[in-house]
Chain A
């Protein structure tokens, strides 16, 4: 090859950019990672998205965009066929050789953190804000987010001064069948803590539960996240497939809560504070609700 790779990359980049030269900012985005895509949408970037991965399920309008497949198994040519200027994703995105090919085709590959902590979110939002030309909005969004979490924290401190954290189990399932229990070091565990629950599962990662140990843990609250069903249908399916759950204190007292499973992937998403509030309310019901 006579031209160096970078020179080719530059030229290809310009070629691909031809429709968007008027603006300095990249106009065609592909986003991989549920929470990340949500933030792009929250910052008004939805019209710029030309493709998302399979974990980007929220808001529902993202599902109408071309799907680039699972974020760990991306296809270089598939993504290039969408003629993006930016591929935004988390460190879970891969495989590495494909990312290298995409980069060499002149596409900006922007990496974000999927760590569930505020510092990571802060730098993610700053980064996104600059790329989308919405730096001020991004700062404001983060400010609100931080405050919302702080309010939640303060509320918790006040409640926990008088009341004990309830023992909770979080089950992730598919139409109720064979649910996995969220253990330590998971996004689900982080969420339970932030909402003021005590995760009874001591293993790490998501593991299938055994009926016997589940009964022994006697959770006061059950939280479920179902990938296929929602609401009453999901609840009914869960108890139909796993009758042992009916014997837990949580089920007897009707303290069975639902979370959206898309909250559990890809770091801190914009819907989190609001969901934490709902969960928290479920963990510490006001006295009138708590009376059976």
Chain B
């Protein structure tokens, strides 16, 4: 060791590279998974479950999404509407018959005073009779009809839909809730995924373009995004869908466009930090084109925050779709969709029926699961220790 000066490599830090074994990507991934917290595991299991259900929906679901299988449960809202406008006994009778089709064998309304309603069913009691004596006009008010409906439900209870071995019962027109839930996983999650991918492609490409090129390109793009962001998203989406027409394609395009503004902002900010790096300068000075800079130099380094944002954006898109469907401008019936299912069955909650809670719970569970996973990824990518 006397002539150390002649051999600086022996002592320099050059000689002490971190001893990293050439481990495959698979090993790294496996290690990452092993150290994942319980919440992340929960989230991943739930997401995988949803994906499996969505892919194999036709095999898992007992019935088709549009198939009417059970006894229908009338929807008071619809009936109230009818009873309000019905002018004569015949229409009213027809209305009732439609709604109690299959349950009621014979329904008679005294067409003279319209005050006596006779319903025959195959229930043990056989005959249900209700007399309306108060109404001079045609015998029934909406309020009375509500109470009538309640009584009728009690009467019909022995052969209620929930008995049909369809675990979650049927919806307002007798379609199997379970089957519709399963198909909705396919529709809602699928559409949300497509929308999110679309908004990411658009937002991140433009964001990177703004970061790399800068100047006027950046200014124009950013101002457009500012304008789009200044209008409340849901109201803007409603407006656009009303103008363009409510169908799935339009909805995907509108939500993707509005959501891409957020992605643009993120990508531009992340990109700005990467563009100033010396390796990007080196690539520019090498004479590399814009596409190379975006694809090879910037994108790989922006991937971690982008993936995390993807998870969060997916949740938002998904909730927006549910909200739009709930408002009637999203996925249109008879296609099953959790948002629509909540809306259509919302009234049943007043009758002690948990049916609208199931799709709501499905939305909540997936949102939480995705958030858990995203949280874990963010944690990893930001390199936080404890």
User: A and B, one complex?
Assistant: no
Which residues of A are interface residues toward B (Cβ below 8 A)? none
